[in-house]
A = this chain, B = another copy of it.
Amino acid sequence: MVLVIWDFIILFEDYLAAIIVKIAINRLLIQNIKDSPLYLIVNPRSIAFFGASNRFTSMGTNQLNSLKSLGFGGEIYPIHPKEEQVQNLVAYKSVLDLPEVPDLAVMVLPTQVVSQALEECGKKGIKHVIVVSGGFKEVGKEGVLLEEKLTELAQRYGIRFLGPNCLGVANPHHQYNITFLPFVGQAGIIGMASQSGSFITQMFDYLADLNLGFSTGISVGNEADIDIVDAMEYLGACPNTKVIALYIETIRRGRAFIEMARSILPQKPIVALYVGGSEAGKRASLSHTGALAGPDNLYDGVFRQSGVIRAHSITELFDFCWLLGSCPWPTGNNVVVQTHSGGPGASAADACDRAGLALPPFSPQTLENLSTFVPHTGSVSNPVDLTFTKNPLEYFDNIPKILLEEPNADMLLIYFMTPKENVIRALKGMGICEDQIDELTEKLFEDQAKAIAALKKNNAKPIVGFSFHNRQNPMLQKLQHYNIPVLPSPDRAARALAALVSYGRLRETILQPNI
């Protein structure tokens, strides 16, 4: 551990001398994703499953059922000492009895029997294992010894393994999820490597709510063999992954982390959340995955040197991934805020300022173009506060179009508020019947969302929304359907836009041919 810390400090001092613009881009990435030790762990065609039973409350049973319920297409071989069948699948007494050598073994076993099971896998010729079982390094001295034994055994048989003390992998593109909770939502673009399994499995519904999803989620656990750097390498090469999310309690290979991040950087943004910097966070990490966390500013330096965007909460982690994975990357920090309400506009302006973004004044051409659309109670400065528009659709087409043409603007942030009840009431008042009202409001929101989507398609500037409505709001659902990110507050939107600018600038610098 001392060595690791030194590794960091040396690199951190490098960093102070050589600013990030000068970083060399290494060509570390594997040529073929199948060369990754994680390939068959993330994309297995057949699985030996240890630790599931016919008792529904056990962890292993739940994990097996997560796999079954997502419609995994490969073979599953439950290994059970007594049962003939496990969860309606033919069970085997020993892995040695299996009719083939499966790509992967998954172990959700009591700590004391993991080594024996691993040895049997080795004898069978299985080369990839996920050890879900806990009770190793994270519980102290005795566990450290058990974990060392595991590593020795794996090396002896040429096995690469994930864990122990992990929750496994979810790869919804492969109909594959062996984590505790059933997968919900859709396969997405966020590739995540996490030192907390919870932040894979317990985020399925959270991400689905935002119309997001994992391309692949990897819970790395205690990292006795495969670690977060290996996971980054895999995700860097993974064609479904557009942005990489990391949840970090410690980095065990400092130099390798930085080099790996640098090699991924030109292709994909990486966002990291590190929680070990505080005293309380450090203690929690130690008992969680046996991780020895380092000082916060050290990690800050490592992330900056690596070109990794740092998030400070789980919320930020996914917000940053959301925008980085769905928007163009601007290099300037000028935002135009469009609103029809003063308070949300002023709050957004304030939030942008605190996030390091600027609200530029408009050019004469923009002022002229806007003048026909803004009533006398509105404001043509930035934020553009329309108060109201005669034709509601203008808010979604003509006005944002003008704002996107503003040469001083790099991004557009729009406030969305849907007076759905008022629209329905107006239609009722006009004597329109219920069925038609549903149809008309549906069409109204569809037209509005489509107008924004059309602007997004024809524009190289990010268009991001914010709204205080919940995710059941029909307008937000339409916008999400068209892949327009709408964040739940101006503050979250501003911080995520700032992350977008950070990556845009970083990437531009890196890709400059003369560096």
Contact = CB atoms under 8 A, between A and B. Distances in A.
A476 to B, nearest CB: 12
A422 B353 contact: no
A505 to B, nearest CB: 21
Contacts of A469: 205-206
A202 B466 CA distance: 13
Of the candidates A180, A288, A289, A426, the one having the most CB atoms from chain B within 10 angstroms of its own CB is A288
Nearest to A345: B284
Nearest to A471: B470
B181 A421 contact: yes
Interface string A366-409: 00000000001101011101011000000000000000000000
Interface stretch (A55-63, A121-129, A231-239, A434-442): A55-63
Interface centre among A273, A281, A346 (most CB of B within 10 A): A346
Interface string A265-278: 00000000101111
B359 A422 contact: no
Given A387-B134, A468-B206, A489 B314 contact: yes
Q: How large is the interface on A (under 10, 10 to 19, 20 to 34, 35 or more residues)?
A: 35 or more
A240 B434 CA distance: 37
A347 B419 contact: no
B281 A349 contact: yes
Contacts of A205: 468-470
A209 interface: yes
Interface in A124-168: 134-135, 138-139, 165
A411 B276 CA distance: 22
A351 interface: yes
Contacts of A285: 346
Given A62-B422, A376-B139, A347 B275 contact: yes
Contacts of A346: 196, 249, 275-276, 281, 284-285, 288
A343 B421 contact: no
A138 B346 CA distance: 14
Nearest to A491: B313
B489 A381 contact: no
Contacts of A289: 342
A135 B387 CA distance: 11
Given A287-B381, A349-B284, A198 B342 contact: yes
Contact of A280 (B65, B358, B425): B358
A350 interface: yes
Given A349-B281, A469-B206, A194 B314 contact: no
Contacts of A59: 388
Interface string A91-124: 0000000000000000000000000000000000
A191 to B, nearest CB: 17
Contact of A354 (B194, B278, B288, B315): B278
B194 A65 contact: no
A289 B345 CA distance: 12
A222 to B, nearest CB: 11
Contacts of A241: none
A341 B181 CA distance: 13
A429 interface: yes
B343 A198 contact: yes
Given A198-B341, A313-B490, A491-B315, A425 B56 contact: yes
Nearest to A425: B65
Given A139-B377, A343-B247, A469-B206, A350 B277 contact: yes
A182 interface: yes
27 contacts: A56-B426, A65-B425, A134-B377, A135-B376, A139-B376, A181-B421, A182-B422, A196-B341, A197-B342, A199-B344, A202-B341, A203-B468, A205-B470, A206-B468, A206-B470, A280-B358, A280-B359, A280-B383, A284-B342, A284-B349, A284-B381, A285-B346, A288-B345, A314-B347, A315-B488, A470-B470, A470-B471
Interface of A: 56-57, 59, 62, 65, 69, 87, 134-135, 138-139, 165, 180-182, 184, 194-199, 202-203, 205-206, 209, 247, 249, 273, 275-281, 283-285, 287-289, 312-315, 341-347, 349-354, 358-359, 376-377, 379, 381-383, 385, 387-388, 417, 419, 421-422, 425-426, 429-430, 468-472, 488-491
Q: Which 9 A-B pairs have the closest CB atoms?
A: A196-B343, A288-B342, A278-B353, A56-B426, A198-B341, A281-B350, A280-B349, A287-B379, A284-B346
